[in-house]
Amino acid sequence: MATVRMIDIAVNFTDGMFKGIYNGKQCHVSDIATVLSRAWTAGVDRIIVTGGSLEESKEALTIAETDARLFCTVGVHPTRCKEFEESGDPDKHFQALLSLAKEGIEKGKVVAIGECGLDYDRLQFCPAEIQKKYFEKQFELAHATKLPMFLHMRAAAPDFCEIVERNRSRFSAGVAHSFTGSAEDRDKLLSISNMYIGVNGCSLKTTENLDVVRSIPIERMMIETDSPYCGIKNTSAGIKFVKSTWPSKKKEKYDQECIVKDRNEPCLVRQVLEVVAGCKGISEIGQLSRTLYHNTCRVFFPQDLDSAADSLLAGHDPQ
């Protein structure tokens, strides 16, 4: 396995599966420490833990404080935007998000506002009008904190791009993560300055997906797992490019030496890197990983650009 350094920009460590809970049933012990150990060994050296609600963002920050290599986001996912109004005081809810983000920035942990955006595939959880209202509102968080945005766009490209364009002056940069859109959606995103596209197993399922990913410039791409979801399955079109594998066991037969079958985890971001390389015909995976690493630092860890990322680009490991 060639040595590469990777940053997984999307891990849902607040999800019950990492506590061993599946559909409300405890199947094994909480195992974030074991999962992290596998990730670090695989070449992951930073992880961004996703926050998708006020409470989840608090938990993400708590988790991020347990390891120097963990960071997090603060924001409200489109399917949960009803929480602003259900709180009884949307402005107070917004202020709570803002103060949490500021606390996390002071701790050196919060690196983005999000996960926010639009999801028209799951309108049963939150109507489009409420999604749009509070997506727009969260640009105020980015503007007040000067943080980049961690974005979600599902079956909503026209409205999403219109809102982002309208608020473009209020945030420095962003990533549309877990991208599964069309070539047209891709090109709309790429036309927005400092907008990157996050690729994971869900981005690599079909031959059409691979065609779309093939034309994302690597200078505008980041990689992620979105674990415990979005793993690369045996039925995925991208599976033919996967070189790295880990032994797995079903959750009922949990073994900490193995990954849990059908539960994605951060070490598997290595497979995303391999599929991106394979579908783009890139044989030098080290150079690809350096470019993706540099992109991620440019947006989320700009303080590192002068030292770590530049020496990586030069082909030297930073001390």
Known binding positions: 28, 115, 152, 177, 226
Known binding residues for a divalent metal cation: 28, 115, 152, 177, 226
The CB density around residue 247, as the number of other CB atoms within 10 Å, is 9
How many angstroms separate the CA atoms of 47 and 45, rounded? 7
Q: Give Rg (Cα) of the chain.
A: 18
CB 153 within 8 Å of CB 181: yes
Q: Which residues of 76-91 are buried (b: 16+ CB within 10 A; e: fewer)?
A: bbbbbbebbeeeeebe
CB 186 within 8 Å of CB 217: no
| H or E element in which residue 197 lies | strand 195-199
Residue 172: partners with Cβ closer than 8 Å, 6 or more residues away = 142, 146, 147, 148, 194, 299
How many angstroms separate the CA atoms of 259 and 250, rounded? 9
3-state secondary structure of 243: coil
